[in-house]
Amino acid sequence: MDEFSALYRRYAPDVFRFALHLSRDRHEAEDITSETFVRAWTSPEPIRLATVKGYLFTIARNLYLQRLRKDRRNVALEDELRDPRQDPSARVEQSSQIRVVLDRVRRLPEIDRSALLMRAVDGMAYAEIARALGITLASVKVKIHRARVALLALKDT
């Protein structure tokens, strides 16, 4: 039990952040995080510590995809991302830029978005992402590259 508690304390914030990026809903991300650890706890297979983060992300992603298939609903991100240290005009400009980037991220295919988030937000290794998504290492590199190119295209628009 102590091992699982330590595992939860170490990885729950990462799983939550990943689920939040996927679902764009705080409550759904909390549910996915909880369910991820319940499934890991009740799994008949032992958790291999060398791949635990990828294993947990795989569970979280599968839960998200199940909910997506079940609900078929879209939840918008909050448009208000305030920094109290900035003046209002700077906040408006930054908020506008953030909305454009988040919109572009939302438009990426789900698997590309997942790969990009795993790499950019959570710093996962390409091989670990490949295992988590069930695709080849080359495919991961291509998906992340294409996602980055799509986001960089924002500069031109």
**What are the structural domain ranges in the chain?**
1-73, 81-157
Contacts of 22 (CB under 8 A, 6+ apart): 29, 32, 60, 61, 64, 113, 114, 117
Tokens 């909880």: give the residue. Answer: 34
How far apart, in whole angstroms, are the C-alpha atoms of residue 14 and residue 9? 10
pLDDT score of 153: 78
Fold of 81-157: Arc Repressor Mutant, subunit A (1.10.10)
In the chain, beta strands by DSSP E? none
Tokens 């992300």: give the residue. Answer: 57
Decide whether 1-73 matches 81-157 in CATH topology.
no
For 8-20, the pLDDT digits (tens) are 999 999 999 999 9
Q: Which CATH architecture has domain 1-73?
A: Orthogonal Bundle (1.10)
Answer positive or negative: Cα dihedral of 62, 68, 70, 71.
Answer: positive
For 128-140, the pLDDT digits (tens) are 999 999 999 999 9
Measured in degrees and rounded to the nearest 5, phi and psi for residue 19 equal: -65, -35
Q: Is the pLDDT of residue 97 over 80?
A: no
